[in-house]
Amino acid sequence: MAGSIMYLKTHTSDGTLLIAICDRELIGQTFSDGLLTLEVSEFFYRGEIASSSDIRDALEHAMVANLVGERSVGHALEGGFIIEENILIIDGIPHAQMATAASLPVNASGATDVIGRD
């Protein structure tokens, strides 16, 4: 069942745990819809082969996550880590990002700065 394989890779920067999860068959490909381009690089996404429970555990502990592919994004959606409205479709490929409140920058007044929100 090679088509059901997902990769999970962890990255750490300044104490922030970021995970990258993608469907195996998307590794090394680039997708574009004319406005957005998504590069599924081996460096960033190709980690260990992960089961559904590995993905869930990683999402529970991650501060930031990048997800690419139907299965990877689907697991995050089913687990309540992301919402459907925040899933982008780039050249037919689902892509989503997750950030916990602890990973968002806080401004001088103590409020969380959220980029792209009014």
For residue range 60-78, what is the model confidence (pLDDT) as tens digits? Answer: 999 999 999 999 999 999 9
**pLDDT tier at 40 (50, 70, 90 boundaries)?**
very high
pLDDT category at 100 given cuts 50, 70, 90 is confident
Whether the Cβ atoms of residue 21 and residue 70 lie closer than 8 Å to each other: no
Long-range contacts of 28-37 (CB under 8 A, 24+ apart): 31/90, 31/91, 31/92, 31/93, 32/90, 32/91, 33/89, 33/90, 33/91, 36/88, 36/90, 37/90
pLDDT (0 to 100) of residue 14? 86
Q: What is the mean pLDDT of residues 19-40?
A: 97
For the chain, what is the mean pLDDT? 87
Vertex 87, ends 20 and 97: CA angle to 5°? 30
Q: How many C-beta atoms lie closer than 10 Å to residue 80's C-beta?
A: 8
Tens of pLDDT, residues 47-57: 999 999 999 99
Q: What is the pLDDT of residue 106?
A: 53
Whether residue 81 is predicted with pLDDT greater than 90 in this model: the reply is yes
- Angstrom CA distances, 50 to 23, 97, 114, stand at 10, 18, 31
Domain 2-101 fold is 3.30.1860
Whether residue 97 has pLDDT greater than 90: yes
For range 9-25, the mean pLDDT: 94
